[in-house]
Structure 1
Amino acid sequence: MGQKKFDKAFKEQAVLRILSGESTASETAKEIGVHYTTVRDWVKNYKQDGISAFPCSGNLKPEDEELRKLRKQLADLKEENEILKKAAAYFAKYLK
């Protein structure tokens, strides 16, 4: 059984109904067929990060995107460093 996917606008609408008092987290969870804790987490994340709490597929929050880029850059630099070490060892053999 797969996990249900909801887009950013749907989650925001559900959260805003809860925050406005129009519905409770439990009622909303039952209506859309997800566990209460899922909806509760949406509300918590929305209160912390606003609409950026619900990144669309492939879209990350700015700080998460920066972290992803830095990790990729680090991995690339480590790979380049290993190549340079091997090249230095290779040429060191022939300079002796």
Structure 2
Amino acid sequence: MTKVRKKIDRTFKERAVELSKDRKNISKLVRELGVSAAQLYKWHKESEEFGIGSFPRNGNVKKTPEQERISILEKKLKDSEVEIEILKKAIGIFSKSDQ
């Protein structure tokens, strides 16, 4: 017999983390929510580490703000490199036609 995985949405996880910060009796909260204590602690740790980027959907990678900034800068660098290559080719084409 296979165990069916419950899909828990982001809102539920965020609310569970907030409740865990307010409550002293975590074991009672875990029973009320119907999740394991390990899972709740994992969500809490993820929320602390990634903040607003916690609990992504559809296989998106969680990134810290620094990682997100690096990704943006790498994309801009790649775009600039492509533009430079295009300009180099254009210079080559125009310099041949001038002769």
- TM-score, normalised relative to structure 2: 0.52
Separation in 1, partners of 2:5, 2:90? 48
CA drift of 1:94 comes to 3.1
Taking only the aligned residue pairs, the percentage that are identical comes to 28
Match of 2:19 in 1: 17
1:22 is matched by which residue type in structure 2? Answer: N
Question: Structure 2: which 5+ residue stretches go unaligned?
Answer: none
Separation in 2, partners of 1:75, 1:5? 37
Match of 1:6 in 2: 9
Alignment check: 8 A CA contact 1:53 1:61 kept: yes
RMSD: 3.9
Please give the per-residue CA displacement for 1:24-61, whole angstroms capped at 9, x wherever unaligned. 4xx46x824x8x4x543321123345x52536769x76
Residue-pair matches, total = 88
Question: Structure 1: which 5+ residue stretches go unaligned?
Answer: none
Aligned CA distance change for structure 1 residues 31 and 6 (closer, same or farther; 3 Å)? same
| Candidates 87, 91, 96, aligned match of 2:90 | 87
2:71 paired with 1:72: no
Aligned CA distance change for structure 1 residues 5 and 65 (closer, same or farther; 3 Å)? farther
